[in-house]
Amino acid sequence: MLLLFYFNFFFLPICSFSPSQSKVPSFTLKLNIQREKREKQMASIAGTCPLGALHRNSVSENNRKNSVVHYEGLRLPQRTQMPFSLTTVPSHYISASSSSRCRTTKAMASSTVAAPKREKDPKKRVVITGMGLVSVFGSDIDTFYNKLLEGESGISLIDRFDASSFSVRFGGQIRDFSSEGYIDGKNDRRLDDCWRYCIVAGKRALDDANLGQQVLDTMDKTRIGVLVGTGMGGLTAFSSGVEALIQKGYKKITPFFIPYSITNMGSALLAIDTGLMGPNYSISTACATANYCFYAAANHIRRGEADIMVVGGTEAAIMPTGVGGFIACRALSQRNEDPKKASRPWDKDRDGFVMGEGSGVLIMESLESATKRGATIIAEYLGGAITCDAHHMTDPRSDGLGVSSCITKSLEDAGVSPEEVNYVNAHATSTLAGDLAEVNAIKKVFKDTSELKMNATKSMIGHGLGAAGGLEAIATIKAITTGWVHPTINQDNLEPSVTIDTVPNVKKQHEVNVGISNSFGFGGHNSVVVFAPFRP
């Protein structure tokens, strides 16, 4: 009887209360109101499960268990169950129904009501004051972009090594490269091409920014950093070292084997040559590398850790190990009979990407620093973002969620609304899955694409891997400064779902208001950087 008394007196009033009951304890009323608010918020949010549902959540209507994908090589054959609790999941990750359960992942742009204002502080505004490159079209910026505008292909048969037994025998191989005036003869003979390209592109960028050695010697070099990344590093140096070990024994390995193989050496050698003592390291995120470097370098400037950063990507993988490795991945086009037609992004007849190489480097500088030294400002870096697909080692997400969220975050960082963007330099490698996944993502962010131009630099120079973002950033900036966007060549049979203007085969005059450059890499690494004309 005593238990029944306590049950009736304490428990029933709480369980059966309604907000209209005046005798309900106030703390209970507050808890229920808060709970109702949370449920309404969760029901209105279209988000995703945590960590791509650690991946890709699948919650049954009959239980609250979370499926975890187990990887077996590049396939996803089996699933196991693990306990799942909604209390551990932030509400902005939940796609909820009235039952508040995690459902399918949806590709959606962030529901930003209004884009934040652009940066006004001259110490935090980041401008471009110099550019340098090494490419299949040479090392002169204007020549490089003019070749792109003309729609000229730089793809040809490989003759650097005997590729006759390879199933792929062509690429964007650099010929007639000269480092004269930038690297002394002794070091030039020792260096891997990856570092030769980096040093030449970096020094040409410094010269373009009026930061030659005499000028640098008058400046505080602790405020100038170097961040040039690479996807593969010194691949020739590494392969030669392994070959020496196997054929002749460890005593025949050169002492330069390790230093010239590791990925940080480009930034290090450029700093050693110029005396730059600011932030210095490398980033290696496969084909997204250069954009990751731009994003990181800009943040060093914004945080006040550097005034100037020498930034970009470099790569030299057109050699037996590099070509053979990508053949093994089944990633390359095999159009040996017509190499210049092989790289054909968004075309129905594409069959894989074409390897390229080179280096692209920008001088990124605070507006305050550029103004003080009277530098010529080429363009402005407004912002960027990086995300991960958390999906597969080599394949993109078909729903484009990682890419669309990356574009959205980059625009938020830049203080730009989607409507302001009218140019996209796409990653567009000419692969079956990747090309369409990127277009799907772009369409999710940019609802009206009628004024949007989207082109593919890789259609002419191939895929520069870690250098791709650097070379394409330069192409993006040249589009801004010239008012002309280069064509995407080999557009003969466009995919029906590609409804955006890809600038097919012939250049177009186009005043760029805001341009973005996309780069994505193996591992699901996504990166987007945002450039615009400089306006004081």
How does residue 476 score in pLDDT terms, banded at 50, 70 and 90?
very high
How much is the average pLDDT of 457-466? 98
10 Å CB burial of residue 45 (0-12, 13-18, 19+) is: middle
Q: If we measure between CA atoms, which residue out of 227, 231, 361 comes closest to residue 298?
A: 227
pLDDT per position as a tens digit, 378-417: 999 999 999 999 999 988 887 888 999 999 999 999 999 9
Calculate the alpha carbon distances from 431 to 40, 143, 150, 324, 502 in Å. Answer: 42, 28, 24, 18, 16
92 noted as active-site residue:
no
Q: Could you tell me which residue, 308 or 395, shows the higher pLDDT?
A: 308
Residues of the chain above pLDDT 90, percent: 75
How does residue 87 score in pLDDT terms, banded at 50, 70 and 90?
very low
pLDDT per position as a tens digit, 322-342: 999 999 999 999 999 999 999
DSSP string, 490-502: --SSB-TT--SB-
Q: If we measure between CA atoms, which residue out of 315, 348, 360 comes closest to residue 171?
A: 315
- Contact by Cβ (8 Å): 101, 59: yes
Output the pLDDT for position 58. Answer: 36
Please write down the HEC assignment for all residues of 40-88: HHHHHCECCCHHHHCCCCCCCCCCCEEEEEEEECCEEEEEEEEECCHHH
Output the pLDDT for position 396. Answer: 87
Structure tokens at 316: 């030299």
Q: Which of 55, 427, 486, 510 is catalytic?
A: 427
User: Degrees (nearest 5) of the Cα angle 268, 193, 316?
Assistant: 100
pLDDT per position as a tens digit, 165-206: 999 999 999 999 999 999 998 889 999 999 999 999 999 999
> What's the CA gap between 328 and 324, in Å, rounded?
6
| pLDDT higher than threshold 60 for residue 88 | no
What topology is assigned to 128-533 in CATH? Answer: Peroxisomal Thiolase; Chain A, domain 1 (3.40.47)
How much is the average pLDDT of 276-282? 98
Output the pLDDT for position 110. Answer: 41
pTM as predicted:
0.79
Rounded to the nearest integer, the mean pLDDT of the chain is: 84
Calculate the alpha carbon distances from 27 to 36, 115, 290 in Å. Answer: 14, 39, 55
Range from 66-80, 150-164, 393-407 carrying the lowest mean pLDDT: 66-80
293 noted as active-site residue:
no
B/e letters for 27-44, b = 16+ CB within 10 Å, e = fewer, are eeeeeeeeeeeeeeebee
Q: Which of 300, 463, 510, 525 is catalytic?
A: 463
> What's the CA gap between 436 and 458, in Å, rounded?
15
427 noted as active-site residue:
yes
Residues in Cβ contact with 349 at an 8 Å cutoff, skipping those fewer than 6 apart: 492, 493
How does residue 116 score in pLDDT terms, banded at 50, 70 and 90?
low
Q: Which of 49, 194, 198, 287 is catalytic?
A: 287
pLDDT per position as a tens digit, 7-62: 444 444 444 433 334 434 443 444 444 445 444 444 443 333 333 333 333 333 33
Q: In the chain, what are the domain boundaries?
A: 128-533
